[in-house]
Amino acid sequence: MTNWWDVNRSGGDLPKRFLPDERDLLCGQRVMYRVLARQAALQSALSDPISFWTARCATGANVVFTFDTLQVGTVNDTGEEYFMNIPDPARIADLEIQGYIYTVDVRADTQASNLRQSGLTDSSHVYSAYTLGQGTFRWNSLVNINSFSTLVLNNSQTLTVGAAINEVDTDWTRTVIRSTTPWCVGQVVLRARSLEAWGSLNEHFTINGGNTEAPCTITGRAVGTPIR
């Protein structure tokens, strides 16, 4: 394959020119290049060849998934036993949730991080769940770990990132959970690609979910680093 790079001289010393980076070249290859000069119809002879090796081919990749935000839409928490008898608009606008975020890689290794058990911390809320209302929340405040490092070892591998979060309803005392309903549940599977592509991965992911009590959207990003 032959590539040409043109350098224009606008007076004075010939400007320096850096060859393009190696993203368009095959890994683990010896590349040779030669230089010539042109002026109008004149052209110099080619220089002696100079060679270099492109980066070693990747033998794998580390992909780090980072969960960024949890977006919660309008909340209508109608399942609480207490509020079936004593409606309280302020409390109906809160959700009590439990669950975790996770990734799965080639080792069938599932990494997960559970929701913290706090949120709004007044005495009327159950403490084995996280309580929140409508809004956008950062995952680094909802869980202890919001980033996971996963491993890719072959071109046919996929990676999975997901969430399994349930909405819980309490009894009359507001301290005992009487039912659990899937709420923000879903996953995204990143398609198979070359190890080089995994190593240069930089993309966002979105998980949409929710139920009749509130919609939800999870956002995050995946960034790859090659193993050579």
DSSP one-letter string for 121-133: -STTS-TTSEEEE
Mean pLDDT value across the chain: 80
Domain ranges of the chain: 26-53, 60-227
Task: Judge: domain 60-227, CATH 2.60.40.150.
Answer: yes
pLDDT of residue 35: 78
Alpha carbon of 147 to those of 79, 94, 111, 144, 221: distances in Å?
33, 27, 10, 9, 10
The tens digit of pLDDT for each residue in 23-37 reads 567 777 777 777 777
Residue 120 pLDDT grade (very low, low, confident, very high; cuts 50, 70, 90)? very low
